[in-house]
Structure 1
Amino acid sequence: MELQILDSLIALFSLTAMEVVLGIDNIVFLSIIVGKLPKNRQTQGRSIGLIAALGLRIVLLFTVSWLANLTNELIVISNFSVSGRDLIMLSGGLFLIAKSTGEIHHKIELGEKSSRSETKKASFASVVTQIIVLDIIFSVDSIITAVGLSGEFYIMVIAVILSLVIMLIFSGSVSDFINNHPTMKILALSFLIMVGVMLFADGLHFHIPKGYIYFAMAFSLLVEFINMRVRKVDPSL
């Protein structure tokens, strides 16, 4: 009995950690999109986004059989097949690439000052809609992975809830940090482009391990932190 409890706790810890790691790209996107809202509505936008993600993931857990069917072939052309999951990954990847590229172009063309004035004009409804669209894409991928790692329904539900609570606690700090440092914002948008390429490639059955992307992002962050320290010591740089 004790061994079974220990196994369940290990599975819960592992699955929660995995869900938090898989949710990093979700938090980055959330931080950038919510940054378009007026300051007094950003916390509300973040909370709605993460609560919507929690609700979607729990609903998807109750439809595990439907999720299993998402991997069934819908379209077959010669030796290439497309499933429902592939279509979600393809559309999600294109959305992320287009959105992130558009944000970078907006910053280059209009500059940070104009970008801040645009932030106040962002529609709360449009921001929440974009968050929910990405929540659906990230949730499907996350839950399919969770189902593959654990067959225990209650462990999956608890892990999803714990991971979203952890993300809710830290999302505010991450969001403020990204939006207060323009270079970090560009870095985050570049990270989202890489995630979009990875999702699109996954939809075409070309699997790119997330570890490569996370390593590249971690290395870029380290370099940028060093640059920030250098600029703090010598503002003329």
Structure 2
Amino acid sequence: MNIPDFSDPAIWLSLLTLTFLEIVLGVDNIIFISIISDRLDPSQQKKARNIGLLLAMVMRIILLLTITWILRLQTPLFTLPYITAEGQPVSISWKDLIMMAGGLFLVVKSTLEIHHKLEKPSTETEKKTVYTAFSSVVLQIVMVDAVFSFDSILTAIGMVDEVFVMIVAVIISIAIMMLFAGPISRFINKNPTLQMLALSFLIAIGIMLVAEGFHQKISKSYIYTMIAFSLLVELLNMRLRKRNESIELPKGKKV
């Protein structure tokens, strides 16, 4: 691994571009970590988020140092003659299997989280908060980190040639995400409607990963545009609800 010449403006441009891309690609990872860590005792949530993001950084650096092995994972294992992409039968590789497994995990996990949040406790005993084991949450974070890291590194390889620049971009992006993970997590978990929106977003990402495993391309820009529009509408609704609550009279009447 060679250290590039940082006096070259092109290197800095590549670093900034890749860092920004890593942050954007890490948004879905932060959302998942925020929601899953909410199942923990409040005193353990920050620790779980930091461990999750640090593990993501370590995995991405390891993957970057084994680029040859990563490229080998894209070698076709078998072909699906009844599914085509661009008129050709789809060839499935280890990379495709990893993407499909990760996508299915996201869909199932997010669906179960939605079901859990919609359930209403029927007795006073059930109303008591039950926290998930710390090791279980970390294990789930590791599984999702592996999928998101794999997708992120494949994107980085296609953009930049210097491995050192990729590693620096990963470290900077993870540091920024760790800085903002707390406020983002609190904001999402404080608003139930945003939680549902975030879980729906993760289901869409999971479906996209499965589709990509079958070489059926779905533009990420469509999904991010959709979620951005939904988020904007929900933020407007939140502001409207807050405004209506602020003008309520003590007796419950509105002005």
Q: Indicate the TM-score class for this superposition, using the shorter chain for normalisation.
A: over 0.9
Structure 1 alignment gaps of length 5 or more: none
**Distance change in 2, residues 1:227/1:98 (3 Å):** same
Higher helix share: 1
User: Is residue 167 of structure 2 the alignment partner of residue 157 of structure 1?
Assistant: yes
How far 1:117 moved relative to its partner?
4.2
- Contact 2:16 2:169 survives alignment (8 Å): yes
- Secondary structure of the residue aligned to 2:21 is helix
- Contact 2:75 2:93 survives alignment (8 Å): yes
Structure number with greater Rg is 2
- Contact 2:38 2:45 survives alignment (8 Å): yes
So what's the TM-score if we normalise by structure 1? Answer: 0.94
Residue of structure 1 aligned with 2:179, choices 169, 172, 177: 169
1:223 corresponding residue in structure 2: 233
User: Is residue 108 of structure 2 the alignment partner of residue 105 of structure 1?
Assistant: no
- Secondary structure of the residue aligned to 2:77 is strand
Structure 1 counterpart of 2:187, one-letter code: F
Structure 1 counterpart of 2:96, one-letter code: D
2:52 corresponding residue in structure 1: 49
- Secondary structure of the residue aligned to 2:92 is strand
Structure 2 alignment gaps of length 5 or more: 82-88, 249-253
Moved over 6 A (4+): 1-4, 113-116
In structure 2, distance between residues paired with 1:98 and 1:45: 21
- Secondary structure of the residue aligned to 1:81 is strand
- Secondary structure of the residue aligned to 1:110 is coil
Q: Deviations over 1:173-201 (max 9, x none)?
A: 10000111111001100000010011011
Which stretch has the larger CA shift, 161-170 or 68-77?
Answer: 68-77
Q: How many residues align?
A: 235
How far 1:80 moved relative to its partner?
2.4
Q: Deviations over 1:145-174 (max 9, x none)?
A: 101100101100000001100100000010
In structure 1, distance between residues paired with 2:6 and 2:101: 43
Q: Deviations over 1:188-230 (max 9, x none)?
A: 0000001001101100111111111111111011100100011
In structure 2, distance between residues paired with 1:126 and 1:229: 36
How far 1:121 moved relative to its partner?
2.2
- Secondary structure of the residue aligned to 1:122 is coil
In structure 2, distance between residues paired with 1:98 and 1:138: 16
Structure 2 counterpart of 1:204, one-letter code: F
- Secondary structure of the residue aligned to 1:234 is helix
In structure 2, distance between residues paired with 1:59 and 1:209: 28
- Contact 2:80 2:91 survives alignment (8 Å): yes
Residue of structure 2 aligned with 1:22, choices 22, 25, 34: 25
How far 1:109 moved relative to its partner?
2.3
- Contact 1:93 1:200 survives alignment (8 Å): yes
- Contact 2:6 2:12 survives alignment (8 Å): no
1:133 corresponding residue in structure 2: 143
Residue of structure 1 aligned with 2:39, choices 36, 39, 56: 36
User: Is residue 73 of structure 2 the alignment partner of residue 70 of structure 1?
Assistant: yes
- Contact 2:5 2:11 survives alignment (8 Å): no
Residue of structure 2 aligned with 1:180, choices 167, 190, 193: 190
How far 1:116 moved relative to its partner?
7.8
How far 1:12 moved relative to its partner?
0.2
Structure 1 counterpart of 2:222, one-letter code: Y
User: Cα RMSD over matched residues?
Assistant: 2.1
